[in-house]
A and B are shown apart, each in its own frame.
Chain A
């Protein structure tokens, strides 16, 4: 019976964890509105407000329920769920290594996840992790490749790679003292992006990391991340080494059909072992796939030492192509480092003049002053650009004020300055939308009224006199929604569609040419012979 029950239970748990993923930020949002006494002026009926009103309807009557909602916060990385504090063991390890101290609340929050993993094994990966759920869907999408007649690539690495990556990651955390794992650890990234989406209707760079992982899974290597890379999975495997629930194979019933090997998402080959090893997530796919009732779940005492026969992984692969090449490990590690460098570099390019609020940190229905400030420095002067409204809609009159102060004397700048505004174009010249205008200061600042004609990114260029030389200081302004999430998603889907179409067209053309060649090879075979006989 467990054969059917376990997969169904697993799907339910997966849906539940996706629900919790969405619920965490929505409950936080509800709490913000509740504490601001603003629950009754939520505004229009978008999905977000409907969810918040729904929670209000459930919670409103009961004070203890309100308390529970108040005590729900955080991301999958570390969360408090209805008052119970839970942390990812990787987060715990990272915190201990980078801060070089033990903090009691952290240890308490690790208690439940570690206990569950020690007893049941790597169940977080198979049952809860939202990234695993997403990647299972992506894995199903590999069927699309078959339709498009793209060769399904499945580059295999050693399953042990992930332990080395875990060691490298924790080593880096220890060496630099920067707990950066949450930047690329997919469940944490996903949870953070969901937060961003719920609070600000946008997604950040993390979404592209997830997208890249999905793309590699789809085109290059099956279940690449979970099998060979994920440091979290490695830690869960190590913790679940001595677990008490395992899948056992009955050798008398097994007919070596290989069905279980085919369905295993983590490439563990249950057909070749007596009991599954430490990387098994107890997902039950193999138990369900087995037609001969040879595989079943069993409670057993911790297996301290596995004999060679029971060892699950690469040593006993039939095709023996297990590779532990250091170059691969290096390549994976360098991938992380490069990606973090790219993220860092993209920030450095802007950081010298954009230190203000990210434009998605405004929430249109939350009561707050929508101003935007960009600080900058030039020569001995501190500049402060203030824009009201901070995120103008096209056609709205925007007040842009510059306050310039001498850092040393503390006195305001009293010479006239000039401002012009340009609309940035992705291709070609920027267009001038605000003619250069010279202003004397009023009330110690220089004020301009600019109207941005349509959605897009603009540059407000201030020209001022610094120690006798004219200096141009650019400020980035965003009007409307230049890169709406919707358009990005549409672009990606359209791009993927076009790509598949092109691939299909190339394949068809090649097939036709090959067919023509074959026909050509058969037909002119005969007329060539008379030609040769003529001579």
Chain B
């Protein structure tokens, strides 16, 4: 009996040591959440909450009708590996516009609540889909450099791009949801208009 108890205590000690070592090890790679935050799917929690809530199951990636959500490869480190992200210049979020659905597909697919449910209505999308904000690079944009272009103006699904003189795009930051369709259609390489990820917050149902 005492032998059993000693074994148990030793196991407990081993357990504690392993947990402590592991916490330090994983903690080393747990960089500040806002550093290099990629663009997350619509309705994502704030980066720190998102990383601890997402279970890396890739259901949102499969559910996206536009195949814009990708899984982060393992080479990005153990903290980020498997989490979904969007590269708008490759494929942008079209806010499920051509699809019959009640809620945005990825938010409906998420089992863990890392993506908050968003109804497919302009009000709900503008309130909750906080993927980022578009930003124009004045050095690259054709319309700001003696050519008239205006391609991005037609791509915006929420009316966040206003036009100035000679089809120069001006971003209405309050209306922009960061879907990245403007970045996707930009004819300049490298793209002159880009989505920059911003702060996100939790919406209680």
Contact A344 B29, beta carbon cutoff 8 Å: yes
Distance from A168 Cβ to chain B, minimum over Cβ atoms (Å): 5
The reply to whether A329 and B18 contact each other, CB–CB distance below 8 Å, is yes
Contact B62 A180 (CB under 8 A): no
B158 interface contact, C-beta 8 A = no
B25 & A205 in contact (Cβ 8 Å cutoff):
no
Given the known A-B contacts A87-B111, A182-B55, A206-B74, are A73 and B14 also in contact in the complex, defined by CB atoms under 8 Å? no
Contact yes or no, A410 B138, CB < 8 A: yes
- Name the A residues within 8 Å of B91 (CB-CB): 368
Which among A24-32, A238-246, A487-495 touches the partner chain?
Answer: A24-32
Tell me, yes or no, whether A36 is within 8 Å of chain B by CB: yes
**Which of these, A28, A99, A371, contacts B62 with CB under 8 Å?**
A28
- Distance between B55 CB and nearest chain A CB, rounded to angstroms: 5
Is residue B79 within 8 Å, beta carbon to beta carbon, of the partner chain? yes
What class of interface size applies to chain B in its complex with A? 35 or more
Q: Given known contacts A103-B113, A105-B113, A443-B145, is B74 in contact with A95 (CB within 8 Å)?
A: no
Task: Please name all residues of chain B whose beta carbon is closer than 8 Å to the beta carbon of A405 when the two chains form the complex.
Answer: 137, 139
In the bound complex, CA of A398 to CA of B28 (Å):
39
Task: Specify which chain B residues have a CB less than 8 angstroms from the CB of A103 in the assembled complex.
Answer: 53, 111-113
Q: Is the CB of A167 within 8 A of B15?
A: yes
In the assembled complex, A175 has its CB within 8 A of some CB on chain B: yes
A530 to B138 Cα, complex, angstroms: 105
Which of these, B15, B21, B79, contacts A337 with CB under 8 Å? B21
A401 interface residue (CB < 8 Å to B): yes
Partner pick for B66 among A35, A358, A386, CB 8 A cutoff: A35
Q: Mark B106-141, 1 if CB is under 8 A from A, else 0.
A: 000111111000000000000000000000011110
Instruction: Kindly state the separation between the CA atoms of A80 and B112 in the bound complex, as whole angstroms.
Output: 13
Q: Are B59 and A334 in contact (CB under 8 A)?
A: no
Q: What CA separation (Å) do A176 and B189 show in the bound complex?
A: 40
Q: Which of A379-428 contact B (CB under 8 A)?
A: 384, 386, 388, 399, 401, 403, 405, 410-412
Q: Which chain B residue lies CB-closest to A356?
A: B87
With contact pairs A32-B67, A351-B76 given, residues A357 and B90 touching in the complex (Cβ less than 8 Å): yes
Residue of A nearest to B76 (CB): A347
* Separation of A373 and B191 alpha carbons in the complex (Å): 10
Q: A346 near B: Cβ within 8 Å? A: yes
Q: Could you tell me which residues of chain B, from 71 to 121, have a CB within 8 Å of some CB in chain A?
A: 71, 73-79, 81-82, 87, 89-91, 98-99, 109-114
Per the bound structure, the CA–CA distance linking A431 and B77 in Å amounts to 31
Q: Is B11 a contact partner of A77 (Cβ separation < 8 A)?
A: no
Q: A74-B59, A361-B90, A369-B89 are in contact. Are A334 and B18 (CB under 8 A)?
A: yes
- Cα-based distance from A166 to B138 in the complex (angstroms): 54
Bound-complex Cα distance A221 to B187 (A): 58
Q: How large is the interface on A (under 10, 10 to 19, 20 to 34, 35 or more residues)?
A: 35 or more
Provide the bound-state CA to CA distance between A105 and B114, in Å: 11
Q: Which A residues between 285 and 342 are near B, CB-CB below 8 angstroms?
A: 324, 326-327, 329-330, 333-334, 336-337, 340-341
Does A98 have its Cβ within 8 Å of any Cβ on chain B? yes
* A99 CA / B53 CA spacing, docked (Å): 5
Residues of A within 8 A of B89 (CB): 369, 371, 373
Give the residues in chain A near B175, CB-CB below 8 Å: none
- From residue B202, how far is it (CB to closest CB) to chain A in Å? 10
Q: How far is the CA of A182 from the CA of B51 in the complex (A)?
A: 13
Contact pattern, B 1-39, Cβ under 8 Å of A = 1, otherwise 0: 000000100110111011101110111111000001000
Flag if B57 contacts A182 (CB, 8 Å). yes
Contact (Cβ within 8 A) B77 A109: no
Interface string of A70-100 (1 = CB under 8 A from B): 0001110111100001010001001100110
Chain A residue contacts of B63, Cβ below 8 A: 28, 31, 73
A95 cross-chain contacts in B, Cβ below 8 A: 53, 55, 111-112
Closest residue to A355 on the B side, CB-wise?
A: B36
User: Which residues of the partner chain A approach B58 to less than 8 Å between Cβ atoms?
Assistant: 74-75, 192, 195
Complex: A326 Cα to B18 Cα, angstroms: 10
User: Taking beta carbons and an 8 Å cutoff, which residues of B are in contact with A?
Assistant: 7, 10-11, 13-15, 17-19, 21-23, 25-30, 36, 48-49, 51-59, 61-67, 70-71, 73-79, 81-82, 87, 89-91, 98-99, 109-114, 137-140, 145, 184, 189-190
9 further A-B contacts with Cβ under 8 Å, apart from A101-B53, A171-B22, A178-B26, are: A32-B66, A78-B59, A91-B55, A95-B111, A183-B81, A195-B71, A326-B13, A330-B14, A357-B87
